[in-house]
Structure 1
Amino acid sequence: MALKASQLTVGETHTARIVEDLKRTQIVQYAGASGDYNPLHTDEVFTTKVAGYPSVFAHGMLTMGMTGKMLTDYVGDARLTKYGVRFTSQVWPGDTLEATATVKAVNGDLVELDVSTRNQDGVEVLSGYAEARVDP
């Protein structure tokens, strides 16, 4: 069933688990798909011994992509007209992430959304906005 602007209310939320127990393999696969082989995401020795982090961590764009899929699952394919985010905390191997879209405004067939993705500890790892053109 298609999302309809007439059925949405300001403050309404849609939440989905976008990854459970993020694996290092998924991070490395994303490095390959994106071409971003920054050693902070792929080289445990470099990340811990040289950079001083506790482990490799996920690309911000991986989190953005998974959150974007939640949005298109909610509003429908080819419906997003705007989507922007800010990365607010690192995503580590083993993290479970849930993304939430909150209806901020409904203007005709345009829906404005606030977007937030949080880890299993409730720490926000991504915040942002989206706009979608939906059925009236």
Structure 2
Amino acid sequence: MSVPGEVGARLPVRRFGPVGMTDIVRYQGASGDLNPMHHDDELARSAGYPAAFGVGMLNAGYLATFCTDVYGTESVRRFRSRFRELVWRGDILTATGTVTRVRTVRGERRAELDLRLTTGNGTIVVEGTAEFAL
């Protein structure tokens, strides 16, 4: 299978979820981010949220997984993400990406990507950019 390496090429869409409490808690344990706002509904409600919410870095991890499944982990040259909205239990997330630039750096051909992770209603929860060796 060839990897998307031309400007305008779109990566195959990938869905994650529905996000569950187990996903959140497993990520928290692996990362060491044990903030109870992500797993304690009562605490989250006391802070004005309707329930505990997903971990931002877990969502960035979904977006990174989406890319590395296409290009491979060994080809990552840069990955940046920006959190825009909260993710709630039950959300189904959709990852999309488009090649925006292809360039050569020190003799290595690279693809630059624009990335988005959205909820079922189209809300962007994470956006990012990445660069992969081709």
Same fold (TM over 0.5): yes
Work out the CA distance in 2 between the residues paired with 1:77 and 1:47: 35
Q: TM-score, normalised by structure 1?
A: 0.90
Where does residue 19 of structure 1 map in the other structure? 16
Deviation at 1:14, TM superposition (A): 1.1
Work out the CA distance in 1 between the residues paired with 2:15 and 2:62: 6
Across the two proteins, how many residue pairs are aligned to each other? 130
Q: TM-score, normalised by structure 2?
A: 0.91
* Identity fraction in percent: 38
Residue 31 in 1 paired to residue 31 in 2?
A: no
Work out the CA distance in 2 between the residues paired with 1:16 and 1:78: 21
Where does residue 107 of structure 1 map in the other structure? 103
Q: How do 1:1-136 residues align onto structure 2 when only pairs under 5 Å count?
A: 1-3=1-3, 8-48=5-45, 50-108=46-104, 109-134=109-134
Work out the CA distance in 1 between the residues paired with 2:99 and 2:70: 11
Deviation at 1:16, TM superposition (A): 2.9
Unaligned runs of 5+ residues in structure 2 are: none
- TM-aligned CA distance change 1:126 to 1:15, over 3 Å: farther
Q: Secondary structure at the residue paired with 1:22?
A: coil
Work out the CA distance in 2 between the residues paired with 1:35 and 1:8: 36
Q: Secondary structure at the residue paired with 1:132?
A: strand
Work out the CA distance in 1 between the residues paired with 2:56 and 2:30: 14
Deviation at 1:12, TM superposition (A): 1.6
Deviation at 1:18, TM superposition (A): 3.7
Measured on the aligned residues, the alpha-carbon RMSD in Å equals 1.3
Unaligned runs of 5+ residues in structure 1 are: none
Work out the CA distance in 1 between the residues paired with 2:2 and 2:100: 19
Work out the CA distance in 2 between the residues paired with 1:69 and 1:130: 12
